[in-house]
């Protein structure tokens, strides 16, 4: 038996995921596997985490996030090494909507934001079902709550993640496996650089990570971060179409 | 372009903010976007970290730790790491930063660029005294290492170099053993500057941290609180929790004004005298008393505020401090945050380091014409006494005042990076 909580982070170079990892290593020894596409940058994050939490174990693994075989390999390799307690699926990319007019680029955007996280979730779900243990945490977005003209390719992908998570949550009801869907609002990370340049108010990655880590601890199914977004999106979701379509949200 | 302010909130001009996040690729970012200047946490008060309508290189994303050796206490980290994070991580492990300014929300890069000092200057020197090496990236893409023993001329120019010699990418810092997060502290109320000087003279031998708050409305027979503390392994046996509060909005007018100044000062004094004698306090409220109230700088309203901080040499110092306090009281200006402290004799490592042996006085003033007129009188006193003003706090000193206060400026200038320019460098050095 491994005493340390074992956590696998998919998309570990994400600023939000990195802050989750900092919180985890700083509160006690954990066994972290960081999965991302770029070895050098991921190694740099691993080094930082080792300094922050010398009692933790941090390993780096690279993968092709849009290759189903590679996704299956990551899930198998990490679960074969011992029981995984948490998998955090964090990767995503939010391009300008106009770019998705290029159909090939649109496909890539759907693949990385919708298909890839769903495949990771499905792959880990298989292993967690066998072990009857584990938490599947996926980062969706408030953008998944209602399609909007500014980012509907990304938003629709996040919507798919929500349905997928719902299905998994239904499947694992009453079992040892839990599913957590995290929905950040606009957050100060490289992804939101354009929002920031426009002077929009953003939550800090650290603040969002705190809410995420807490949500995972509590195994809540849906967690908005910061929590205020729950109320905002309740209103946005229920705005009648004739009003909604006149707004440029 | 987005509006950026420094701590004094005197302006919010648009800046082209370039995020630095990859320490190996800083050179590319600088080459592609210049001239500009580095921006840390924007805790300098004036125009040192600003470049209106131009480029700012934001270092917030350079926040990774690189190595820590628990045998020697050496920490290598990127320049955007915030001192609070180092303290919170390392103090439980028995190590702490040897020098910290009065707020811990500053970056390692910013702390080096101003060669900041803390309440323990007499024993510990400045921040730069504890830097073994740093890595500097120039706008032409050159990357160089420097330290007190390696390229010492570059080191002396960069420490306290106002960000003008290059962008600091990372640094190796010497931490020192820490007995724990608690301090044994004592507050001694006093009246009159002589009492302050007496307390200051006695303190260095017995106290690690010393600083004094003064009531700048109390006149020549100034009333103050002398705060002193030593790190201790004792603990009150209860955990400490930071109670962060925030100033939620910018009030339409300054809440610190002629009407409130006197009573705010009285209240602070009364609060300070409530606990005479020794007691245990956590390092955070003692060393960073204002960090508990986020955005406290909003108190001064939409026009922002100035801080005036100078140091005057020991000989003429006491008289100069008396003269300054008198001018301030006569002008009816002043602040709740008047701080008086003596520096030790240790010469600082940077060509433009602010610290010098003598007495330092720091006060906040709401932004209004009277304050600017008062500063001219204070400048005259400081110059006469052979003192200088702290650029980290400055937004208005005349160029002659800077040149008079920093006689090694000529030695510094050849180390400037031609691709770096700030509102301050243009104001004080012409480019
Ligand atoms: C409440 C309060 C209390 C304070 N108390 C003290 C005190 O007790 N003692 C003291 O000495 N100071 C004190 N200060 C001032 C503060 O410590 C300095 O202004 C500090 O430099 C701010 O750091 P920063 O990271 O916010 O830098 P910024 O304010 O963003 O920038 C300051 C300068 O550093 C340069 N810089 C920043 N990062 C880099 C980098 N990576 N490479 C090169 N240049 C860089 C900038 O270009 C600029 O010239 C206080 C400030 C406040 C708000
Ligand atoms: N920031 C926000 O405002 C916001 C709001 C709501 C939801 N979210 C969600 O939060 C999660 C984390 O994002 P973040 O804000 O932390 O952004 P971020 O720092 O930009 O991180 C994005 C992550 O996705 C990875 N990624 C992107 N495209 C990839 C690809 N093709 N293959 C492999 N990895 C890829 C990136 O890897 P590289 O480092 O290799 O590029 C990086 O790890 C995402 O799911 C995002 O959708 C963010």
Q: What is the pLDDT of residues A142-182, one digit of tens each?
A: 999 999 999 999 999 999 999 999 999 999 999 999 999 99
Nearest 10 degrees: Cα torsion B362, B366, B372, B374: -60
Instruction: Specify the pLDDT at position B267.
Output: 79
Q: How close is the nearest chain A Cα to the Cα of B66, in Å?
A: 6
Considering only alpha carbons, which residue of chain A is nearest residue B3? Answer: A199
Q: Rounded to the nearest whole angstrom, what is the distance from the C-alpha of residue A141 to the centroid of ligand 2?
A: 11
Give the start-to-end residue ranges of the domains of chain B.
Answer: 182-395
Q: How far apart are CA B319 and CA B358, in angstroms?
A: 12
Examine the pLDDT at B220 and tell me if it is beyond 70.
Answer: no
Q: How far apart are CA B300 and CA A54, in angstroms?
A: 43
Pocket test for ligand 2, best of A8, A9, A11 (most atoms within 8 A of CB): A11
Query: Could you list the residue range(s) of the whole structural domain that residue A181 is in?
Result: 5-244
Q: How far apart are CA A109 and CA B342, in angstroms?
A: 61
Q: How close is the nearest chain B Cα to the Cα of A60, in Å?
A: 16
Residue-wise pLDDT tens digits, B335-383: 777 899 999 999 999 999 999 999 999 999 999 999 999 999 999 999 9
Instruction: Specify the pLDDT at position A2.
Output: 52
As a whole number of Å, the CA-based R_g of chain B is 21
Instruction: Specify the pLDDT at position B9.
Output: 96
What is the domain-level CATH number for residue A185?
3.40.50.720
Q: Is A190 in the pocket of ligand 2 (CB under 6 A)?
A: yes
B264 or B51: which carries more pLDDT confidence?
A: B51
Examine the pLDDT at B394 and tell me if it is beyond 90.
Answer: yes
Give B20's pLDDT tier (boundaries 50, 70, 90): very high
What number of H helices and E strands is found in chain A? 10, 9
Look at B67 and A44 and tell me if their CB atoms are within 8 Å. no
Q: How far apart are CA B426 and CA B260, in angstroms?
A: 36
Q: How far apart are CA B335 and CA B346, in angstroms?
A: 30
Residue-wise pLDDT tens digits, A13-66: 999 999 999 999 999 999 999 999 999 999 999 999 999 999 999 999 999 999
Q: CB-side exposure of A40: number of CA atoms within 13 Å?
A: 4
Number of domains in chain A: 1
pTM given for the model: 0.94
Q: Is B114 in the pocket of ligand 1 (CB under 6 A)?
A: yes
Considering only alpha carbons, which residue of chain B is nearest residue A198? Answer: B2
Q: What is the mean pLDDT of residues B261-276?
A: 78
Here the tokens at position B402 are: 């800077």
Q: Is A95 in the pocket of ligand 2 (CB under 6 A)?
A: no
Is the distance from CB of A210 to CB of A223 less than 8 angstroms? no
Look over chain B and give the mean of its residue pLDDT values, rounded to a whole number: 93
Residues of chain A with Cβ-Cβ distance to B17 below 8 Å are 196-197
CATH architecture of residue range(s) B182-395? 2-Layer Sandwich (3.30)
Examine the pLDDT at B117 and tell me if it is beyond 70.
Answer: yes
Give the CA angle between residues A78, A80, A86 to the nearest 5°: 45
Look at A198 and B2 and tell me if their CB atoms are within 8 Å. yes
Instruction: Specify the pLDDT at position B96.
Output: 97
Q: How far apart are CA B49 and CA B393, in angstroms?
A: 11
Is the distance from CB of B212 to CB of B199 less than 8 angstroms? yes
Give A1's pLDDT tier (boundaries 50, 70, 90): very low
Residues of chain B with Cβ-Cβ distance to A21 below 8 Å are none
Q: Name which of B106, B7, B79, B2 is nearest B47 in CA terms.
A: B7
In a domain, A249, yes or no: no
List Cβ neighbours of A120 (8 Å cut-off, separation of 6 or more): A10, A71, A74, A75, A87, A89
Look over chain A and give the mean of its residue pLDDT values, rounded to a whole number: 96
As a whole number of Å, the CA-based R_g of chain A is 18
The shortest CB-CB distance from B65 to any of A52, A193, A196 is to A52
Look at A51 and B65 and tell me if their CB atoms are within 8 Å. yes
Q: What is the mean pLDDT of residues B10-20?
A: 96
């Amino acid at each position: 038996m491994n005493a340390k909580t074992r956590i696998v982070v998919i998309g570990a170079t994400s600023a939000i995921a990195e802050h989750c990892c900092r919180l985890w290593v700083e509160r006690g020894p954990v066994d972290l596997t960081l999965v991302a596409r770029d070895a050098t940058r991921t190694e740099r994050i691993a080094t930082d985490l080792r300094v922050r939490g010398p009692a933790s174990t941090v390993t780096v693994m690279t993968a092709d996030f849009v290759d189903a075989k590679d996704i299956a390999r990551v899930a198998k390799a990490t679960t074969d090494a011992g029981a995984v307690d948490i998998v955090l699926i964090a990767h995503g990319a939010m391009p300008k909507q106009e770019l998705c007019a290029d159909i090939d680029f649109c496909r890539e955007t759907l693949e990385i934001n919708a298909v890839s996280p769903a495949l990771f979730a499905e792959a880990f779900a298989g292993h967690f079902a066998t072990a009857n243990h584990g938490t599947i945490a996926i980062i969706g977005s408030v953008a998944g709550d209602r399609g909007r003209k500014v980012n509907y390719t990304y938003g629709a992908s996040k919507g798919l993640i929500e349905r997928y998570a719902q299905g998994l949550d239904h499947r694992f009801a009453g079992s040892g496996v839990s599913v957590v869907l995290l929905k950040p609002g606009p957050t100060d990370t490289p992804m939101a650089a354009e929002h920031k340049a426009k002077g929009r108010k953003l939550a800090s990655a650290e603040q969002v990570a705190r809410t995420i880590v807490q949500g995972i601890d509590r195994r809540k199914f849906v967690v908005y971060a910061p929590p205020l977004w729950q109320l905002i999106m309740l209103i946005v979701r229920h705005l009648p179409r004739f009003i909604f379509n006149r707004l440029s949200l | 372009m987005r509006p950026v302010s420094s701590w004094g909130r005197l302006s919010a001009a648009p800046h082209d903010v370039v995020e630095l996040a990859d320490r190996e690729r800083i050179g590319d970012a600088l080459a592609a976007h210049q001239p500009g200047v580095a921006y840390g946490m924007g805790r300098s008060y004036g125009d040192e970290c600003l470049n209106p309508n131009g480029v700012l290189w934001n270092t917030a994303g350079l926040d990774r730790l690189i190595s820590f050796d628990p045998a020697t206490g050496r920490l290598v980290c990127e320049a955007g790491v915030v001192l609070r994070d180092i303290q919170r991580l390392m103090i439980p492990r028995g190590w702490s930063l040897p020098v910290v300014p009065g707020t811990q929300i500053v970056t390692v890069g910013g702390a080096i660029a101003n060669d900041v000092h803390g309440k323990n200057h007499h024993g510990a020197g400045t921040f730069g005294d504890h830097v073994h090496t740093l890595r500097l990236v120039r706008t032409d893409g050159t990357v160089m290492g420097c330290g007190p023993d390696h390229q010492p001329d570059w080191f002396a120019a960069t420490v306290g170099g106002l960000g003008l010699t290059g962008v600091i990418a990372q640094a190796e810092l010497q931490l020192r053993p820490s007995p724990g997060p608690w301090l044994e502290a004592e507050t001694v109320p006093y009246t009159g500057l002589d009492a302050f000087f007496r307390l200051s003279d006695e303190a260095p031998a017995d106290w690690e941290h010393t600083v004094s708050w003064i009531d700048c409305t109390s006149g020549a027979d100034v009333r103050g609180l002398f705060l002193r503390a030593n790190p201790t392994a004792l603990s009150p046996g209860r955990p400490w929790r930071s109670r962060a509060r925030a100033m939620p909005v910018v009030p339409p007018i300054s809440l610190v004004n002629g009407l409130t100044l006197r009573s705010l000062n009285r209240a602070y004094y009364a609060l300070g005298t409530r606990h005479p004698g020794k007691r245990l306090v956590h390092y955070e409220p003692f060393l960073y008393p204002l960090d508990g109230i986020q955005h406290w700088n909003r108190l001064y309203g939409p026009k922002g505020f100035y801080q005036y901080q100078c140091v005057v040499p020991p000989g003429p110092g006491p008289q100069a401090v008396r003269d300054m306090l008198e001018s301030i009281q006569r002008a009816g200006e002043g602040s709740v945050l008047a701080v008086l402290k003596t520096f030790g004799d240790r010469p600082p490592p940077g060509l433009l380091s602010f610290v010098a042996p003598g007495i330092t006085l720091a006060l906040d003033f709401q932004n209004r014409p009277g304050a600017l007129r008062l500063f001219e009188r204070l400048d005259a006193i400081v110059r006469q006494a052979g003192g200088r003003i702290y650029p980290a706090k400055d937004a208005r000193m005349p160029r002659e005042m800077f040149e008079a206060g920093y006689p090694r400026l000529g030695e510094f200038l050849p180390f400037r990076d031609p691709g770096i320019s700030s509102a301050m460098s243009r104001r004080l050095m012409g480019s």
